[in-house]
Amino acid sequence: MTDETNISVSSEFQRELEAFLRSQNMSQSDKMPEEIQEEKPQAFWEALFKEMNFPGMDLMAVGYFDLSNEDLIEQRLFFRKSMRDFLKLLGYNYANDLRDAGVSEEGLFHVKKGNLPENFTVHLKYPLEYGGRIDFNNMVFMQTHPYHDLIHAYIDQQLVGPSGSIRPRQLYVPVPIGKVYIPTSNYTGSGGKNKQDRSTVAGFTQAALKDLMIKSMPGR
């Protein structure tokens, strides 16, 4: 990833975080009248989910989890650091899945170094504000456009208030299967073609971290 790309990602992350923190400093009653705060029924979001078409994803309902501003900032920073290790894990253990997801050989080289190739991102399946955790089981590597954009387009329609600044008590979230999202309806989230899924442990063991460090050394 180039320095210019790093600056762009950091700026986007900073804008999103600032917007959320501003929303937390305003009460819902200050933002909109009570009658507009009513949430649409589950059947509406299920129908929209089918209409928008999310191949290989499940629709999950999650409840709002109140995080302090300090906790949110800490979790976001931890996510940024964890993402590099997650990418390296994928680069060395899920190469076939990455290729199936559209990653080129050059892109695979960047993933092994802990960097995102162009038009790919690491997405949290369950948002932090709805009980999501920063661990590898809650992370998925996927194309930014159209699939990551599609998820957020669906979620954004559930946000209410001025500029979508109020989060609903219950959120319906399209959840991709596996650690690498391959947009097919029958994908089972394997650790590569015909390989057993490696998602049983969240994060690295000490042995895996040592092995990863060796592989990441210059010249490897």
The string of pLDDT tens digits covering residues 190-211 is 444 433 333 323 344 445 544 5
Task: Return the domain boundaries, the chain.
Answer: 39-215
Tokens 């387009």 found at: 153
What would the mean pLDDT of 7-24 be, rounded to a whole number? Answer: 55
The string of pLDDT tens digits covering residues 39-58 is 788 999 999 999 999 999 99
Omega before residue 146 within 30° of 0, cis: yes
Closest CA to 166 of 45, 52, 64: 64
The string of pLDDT tens digits covering residues 150-173 is 999 999 999 887 666 788 899 999
User: Quick count: other Cβ atoms within 10 Å of Cβ 107?
Assistant: 20
pLDDT above 90 coverage of the chain, percent: 54
Cα three-residue angle 60-49-175, rounded to 5 degrees: 35
By residue count, the chain amounts to 220
State the chain's mean pLDDT as an integer. Answer: 77
Decide if 56 contacts 101 (C-beta within 8 A).
no
How many angstroms separate the Cα of 14 from the Cα of each of 11, 77, 121? 5, 11, 16
The string of pLDDT tens digits covering residues 127-139 is 999 999 999 999 9
Using pLDDT thresholds of 50, 70 and 90, give the confidence band for residue 14: low
Decide if 115 contacts 1 (C-beta within 8 A).
yes
